[in-house]
Amino acid sequence: MKAVILAGGEGSRLRPLTLGRPKPMTPLLGKPVLGHILDLLRRHGIREAAITLRYLPGVVTDYFGDGAGQGMELTYFVEEEPLGTAGGVRRCMDFLGEEDFLVVSGDAVCDLDLTELIALHQSRRSVATLALCRRSEPLEYGLVRTDPQGRILGFVEKPGWGQVDTELVNTGIYVLSRRAMDQVEPEGEYDFGKDLFPKLLARREALYGWEVPGYWQDMGDCGAYLESIHDALEGRVALDLEAGRGPRSAGVEIREPCWIGRRVSLAPGCTVGPYTVLGEGSTVGTGAVVERSVLLGAAVGEGAEVSGAILCKNAVVQRRAMVNPGAVLGEEAVVGAEAIVAPGVKLWPRRHVPEGGKATVSQVTAGQSAPLKFSGGGLLRGDMGEALTAESMLALGALLGERGAVGIGWSTGSAAAMLARAAACGVASAGGTPLVSDAPCSSAGAWLAKSHRIPVSLFVTQDGDVAELRIFGPDGLPLPRGEQRKLEGGLLRGEGSRAPASRVGAFETVTGVRSAYAAEAAALSRIGTAPLEGIQVWVPRAGTENQVLAAALTALGCRVSRGEGRGMATFSVDWGGFRLTAWDEEGEALSSDRLLVLLTRIQLESGGEAVLPAWAPAAAETVAGSLRGRLLRLGRDGEEALRLWREQPWMWDGIFAACRVCARMGHTGQTLSALSRELPAFATVRAEVPLRSGRGRVIGAVLADGEGAESQGEGVRARVGEGWIYLIPASRRQALRVIAEASGMEAARELCHQYEDKLRSLDERV
């Protein structure tokens, strides 16, 4: 069997380790990662391979030549423009012929049993067989859903936590038939995961995935690189660690496991290890300590300490300096005597930390020392002065400014204003136009993006020492997960444009947002053309969101009293204006869940379709059935549901929602309590269950339990007796969130406790 090795990657997330070399040429224990892949193929009897190249192809061809030195026959295919993973293999078909063949990534660390994978493929007569492995944190991978026989049921590329219902991920190692490749489009970019495999599924082809024995690690970033080094030294992955092993020196303390290459100089009194790799040409001075680190021909001076770091070729750490875990020093970077490099800081090549200085921010084109990650709700959240600083906001603004105009707003605090203004400066520095608005709350910032057709809008709020950032696209919704990932990666890598002085963006202001937003919420939420009469409501005084709500309800025609009391319905919004809660005329609270079901009823009464989040109560299905309406759910119903979601802002904007409910009250003359009584009887209870094992593994066990649980695209829903359970993985913790729904509160509590016990039991078993 022949193989194709995909080796065109640039490795931007591994920078500065990969600056000046393609990702597959990253040094790993004496040879490039690609060299270990060639070793793996040879061990499994594969001697002929095509290598697809794009970024700096000469680095690969010069090193490996025709492959004779590795016991291989190598043929190279260089892509002049991106072709995608399947498109790159498409160019190799004359080399591959009509027989089945293997595809493997050239930048992963693995020793998977390829012989078993090939045998499984042949026994099932599969059109394509995918090697799978488990990951408890699978967000950076492609999920693969299979049945108990291994037949693939579906794929989720780069999921959010709500989509995680298995731990099985795509390794990028496949056995393919010529029949599979016949389905690849003849021109342009074409990927296996995004294009070919879904197409084969749609054609009902035999497509299998197997958890293959062995080790696999996608060397996606510097943390994964160090993890693969650790695992190799522990013996968890079978690699050739003997070639280039250098001698130990007298008077040097070596704490195993370590790997020491040729021409390494170790001064008496130094300490090396554990879990340390010293590449060819590295030096460690007297009294220095190097542990859990990789030196690729770097120098560590007398008395210096290096822990959990990567030092590239000719990097220098001078006497008594300290380099902390997660730091990476590019080629010829210098850390001066007695200087400190803080955890996670990256120094690009030839950057310098002066004697006695301290590097706390990465010295790259922009700089973000600690990664910022979007939560499940589309938030960037962090402590001000630590995760969120003026520098990180400048970098974020520069990334956003590449899109053109950027809405900028803030509320509740001078620190929030500082962060927002820093982002605005970043936008201008990239040549974008910062549109600084007087939007009073986050939902107004979302409305601004949609109403003014702004490519992106940023709103910053402050809660004590914590800041929250929400970023909205031109539809007023949070950026899609793919766009969030691009921003996360751009911040981590220090990307972002810098325009020359002649193209720096000009600041503009947008005023009157509060009144325009309130007026549109009232206008779009009306039911019919008749004016509202006799609708009196309370709106609390606290909160800028409630000021907008009062203005919107007044514009609708309601008589609004500020404060709280009985005898009239009370509406209040929080969470930046996105969440509505209410109390009826008798003081009974209507939860956000109950209001969603009421809004569903109002929408379906008009003869239209309604859309809800995946987690919304199943009682809405009962309402839809009684009105013979069509109810869609986000995630489950794809682009059609997302289109409706954009068109129905009252389902996700609390101010629009309050206007919609009041419009319904005015249209029929019913009180809020009367509207609530028309809804099905139901109650919901929420809980969170901490886990020992992975979230995807426990969700997968629930789906395999045979009790009718179904994936909703975002989380899993199961019918349990007369009630419902909805599960969704927590985005920031190793835990599952549980929503139990039943006809009454006691039944919902009992169901919730029952399922909490079940999840703990599954967690112990898997």
Tell whether 256 and 393 lie within a shared domain: no
> Residue 728 pairs with which residues in a beta bridge?
737
Report the greatest alpha carbon distance in the chain.
94
Rounded Cα distance, 218 and 624, in Å: 46
Mapped to the 3 state alphabet, what secondary structure does 199-214 carry?
Answer: HHHHCCCCEEEEECCC
Question: What pLDDT is attached to residue 493?
Answer: 64
Question: What pLDDT is attached to residue 368?
Answer: 41
Write phi, then psi, for 67 (nearest 5 degrees): 90, -5
pLDDT digits (tens, 9 = 90+) for 242-259: 644 555 667 888 998 999
The residue-averaged pLDDT of 555-583 equals: 90
**266: closest CA among 241, 292, 285?**
285
Question: What pLDDT is attached to residue 494?
Answer: 65
Tell whether 524 and 641 lie within a shared domain: yes
User: Which of 677, 707, 726 is the last residue in one of the domains?
Assistant: 677
Tell whether 249 and 340 lie within a shared domain: yes
Task: DSSP for 552-592, please give it.
Answer: HHHHHT-EEEES--SSSEEEEEEGGGTEEEEE-TTS-EE-H
Asked whether residue 422 is assigned to any structural domain, the reply reads yes
What's the angle, vertex CA 500, arms to CA 499 and CA 505, rounded to 5?
A: 55
Q: Which helix (H) or strand (E) holds 154?
A: strand 152-157
Rounded mean pLDDT of the chain?
87
Question: What pLDDT is attached to residue 243?
Answer: 47
pLDDT digits (tens, 9 = 90+) for 448-465: 999 999 999 999 998 888
Instruction: Report the SS3 class of residue 450.
Output: helix
**260: closest CA among 278, 281, 236, 237?**
278
**What CATH number is given to the structural domain containing 708?**
3.30.310.50
Using the structure block, give the residue that is written with the tokens 């938030």.
Answer: 379
Tell whether 57 and 200 lie within a shared domain: yes
Asked whether residue 438 is assigned to any structural domain, the reply reads yes
pLDDT digits (tens, 9 = 90+) for 651-668: 999 999 999 999 999 888
Task: DSSP for 15-44, please give it.
Answer: TTTTTTS-GGG-EETTEEHHHHHHHHHHHT
Tell whether 130 and 172 lie within a shared domain: yes
> What's the alpha-carbon Rg for the chain, to the nearest Å?
29
Rounded Cα distance, 313 and 294, in Å: 11
Across 576-690, the runs of DSSP E, i.e. the strands, are 579-583, 589-590, 610-612, 631-633, 683-690
Asked whether residue 633 is assigned to any structural domain, the reply reads yes
Asked whether residue 63 is assigned to any structural domain, the reply reads yes
Rounded Cα distance, 541 and 103, in Å: 63
**What CATH number is given to the structural domain containing 397?**
3.40.120.10
Write phi, then psi, for 10 (nearest 5 degrees): -90, -30
Give the number of C-alpha atoms closer than 13 A to the C-alpha of residue 235, restricted to the C-beta side.
Answer: 2
**What CATH number is given to the structural domain containing 274?**
2.160.10.10
The residue-averaged pLDDT of 286-314 equals: 93
Question: What pLDDT is attached to residue 598?
Answer: 95
User: Which of 468, 492, 511 is the last residue in one of the domains?
Assistant: 511
User: Is pLDDT at 149 greater than 50 in this prediction?
Assistant: yes
Asked whether residue 223 is assigned to any structural domain, the reply reads no
Label residue 57 by pLDDT band (50, 70, 90).
confident
Q: Specify the number of domains making up the chain.
A: 5
Tell whether 555 and 437 lie within a shared domain: no
- Angle at which helices 544-556 and 513-525 cross, to 10°: 50
Asked whether residue 228 is assigned to any structural domain, the reply reads no
pLDDT digits (tens, 9 = 90+) for 351-406: 888 888 888 777 764 334 446 778 766 788 877 777 788 888 898 999 999 989 99
- Angle at which helices 513-525 and 654-668 cross, to 10°: 40
Instruction: Report the SS3 class of residue 649.
Output: helix
The residue-averaged pLDDT of 202-230 equals: 87
Tell whether 693 and 758 lie within a shared domain: yes
* 371 and 488 Cβ atoms separated by less than 8 Å: yes
Asked whether residue 227 is assigned to any structural domain, the reply reads no
Tell whether 45 and 169 lie within a shared domain: yes
Structural domain span for residue 138: 2-218
Using the structure block, give the residue that is written with the tokens 């809004």.
Answer: 599
> Residue 307 pairs with which residues in a beta bridge?
291
* 578 and 655 Cβ atoms separated by less than 8 Å: no
Instruction: Report the SS3 class of residue 48.
Output: strand
Rounded Cα distance, 229 and 235, in Å: 10
User: Is pLDDT at 226 greater than 60 in this prediction?
Assistant: yes
Tell whether 52 and 134 lie within a shared domain: yes
Q: State how far the alpha carbon of 236 is from the alpha carbons of 107, 217, 223, in Å.
A: 18, 11, 17
Six-digit token pair at 232?
């190799």
Phi-psi region of 364 (alpha: psi -120 to 50; beta: other; left: phi over 0): beta
Rounded Cα distance, 54 and 45, in Å: 27
Question: What pLDDT is attached to residue 391?
Answer: 83
Tell whether 283 and 385 lie within a shared domain: no
Question: What pLDDT is attached to residue 366?
Answer: 38
Question: What pLDDT is attached to residue 248?
Answer: 62
**112: closest CA among 256, 26, 3, 226?**
3
Mapped to the 3 state alphabet, what secondary structure does 276-307 carry?
Answer: EEECCCCEECCCCEEECCEECCCEECCCCEEE
- Output the pTM of the full model: 0.69
What are the residues whose beta carbons fall under 8 Å from the beta carbon of 297, sequence distance 6 or more? 279, 280, 281, 282, 312, 313, 314
Asked whether residue 25 is assigned to any structural domain, the reply reads yes
Tell whether 383 and 409 lie within a shared domain: yes
User: Which of 677, 709, 731 is the last residue in one of the domains?
Assistant: 677
Label residue 224 by pLDDT band (50, 70, 90).
confident
The residue-averaged pLDDT of 327-338 equals: 91
Tell whether 298 and 383 lie within a shared domain: no
Six-digit token pair at 691?
């886990």
pLDDT > 70 fraction of the chain, expressed in percent and rounded: 96
